[in-house]
A and B are shown apart, each in its own frame.
Chain A
């Protein structure tokens, strides 16, 4: 049951992501969508993936998006707009969807069928064991990819080369 509620929330939030006009509102719904997918992972018996989804996707990647949105919105009129965004009608939608997710998760706990108790649950221990024995090369490849992304992003963004906007 948790799976279906979370899947519904994910679909709803994703529809709102691609139909929102303002990037920040879309980001709010994107966070809800990613949290819903995390709950889906939990319901599927993959708590490690659920944690990573929350920490890296909903945490790191969305924060990156928020930073870029902030950098793109430099100007005087944005302060007034920012004040307008604090109006409840902008965050009540994501908030309600999050509340549904929380209720689904609490319902799972209350029913006592924590996905962790299942036979087919893939524990973080199993993932770690496989990751650092059979898939050690994958860890190296992932670290190389991240290093390449770091160097590439630093070079492409080139924050030191341009001072201020070009004419």
Chain B
């Protein structure tokens, strides 16, 4: 059907996932870490949709819906945690959290 081979979609997803992973590992700002997590989830969503399109089945897009739900839930909880961290530490530096006891 598509002129795009499945491999190319997978390569794109892999590169995006790697970029997100690099963001999580390199950045120390909690907001950027959350954004990178969104990028990684987005990359997995590309894999699901591409596979669904490759086989011509709707199942891929249904899994995409689940990934979307998960991303929304993760963003909501994560940002609430960021707000709490900002209140307690006056900053959103991930390294500041190593001072937490217990």
Contacts and interface: CB of A to CB of B under 8 A. Distances in A.
Contacts of B92: 72
Q: What's the interface size class on B, roughly?
A: 35 or more
Nearest to B59: A130
A122 B77 contact: no
B92 to A, nearest CB: 7
Q: Quick one: which of B19, B35, B46, B62 has the most chain A CB within 10 A?
A: B35
Nearest to B1: A120
Interface in A137-167: 138, 141-142, 145-146, 148-150, 152-154, 156-158, 162, 165-166
B81 A122 contact: no
A119 interface: yes
A22 to B, nearest CB: 10
B28 to A, nearest CB: 12
Q: In terms of DSSP, what is the predominant structure of the interface of chain B?
A: helix
Contacts of B61: 46, 48-49, 122, 127
Given A11-B15, A146-B72, A121 B1 contact: yes
Given A122-B58, A138-B66, A149 B49 contact: no
Contacts of B62: 127, 130-131, 135, 138
Contacts of A129: 58
10 contacts: A10-B12, A14-B16, A17-B36, A46-B52, A68-B82, A69-B31, A120-B53, A121-B53, A122-B56, A148-B73
Interface of B: 1-4, 8-9, 12, 15-16, 19-20, 22-23, 26-27, 29, 31-32, 34-36, 38-39, 42, 45-46, 49-50, 52-54, 56-62, 64-66, 68-77, 79-84, 86-88, 90, 92
Interface of A: 3-4, 7, 10-11, 14-15, 17-18, 23, 26-27, 30, 33-34, 37, 40-41, 43-46, 48-49, 52-53, 56-57, 60-61, 64-65, 68-69, 71-72, 115, 118-122, 126-127, 129-131, 135, 138, 141-142, 145-146, 148-150, 152-154, 156-158, 162, 165-166
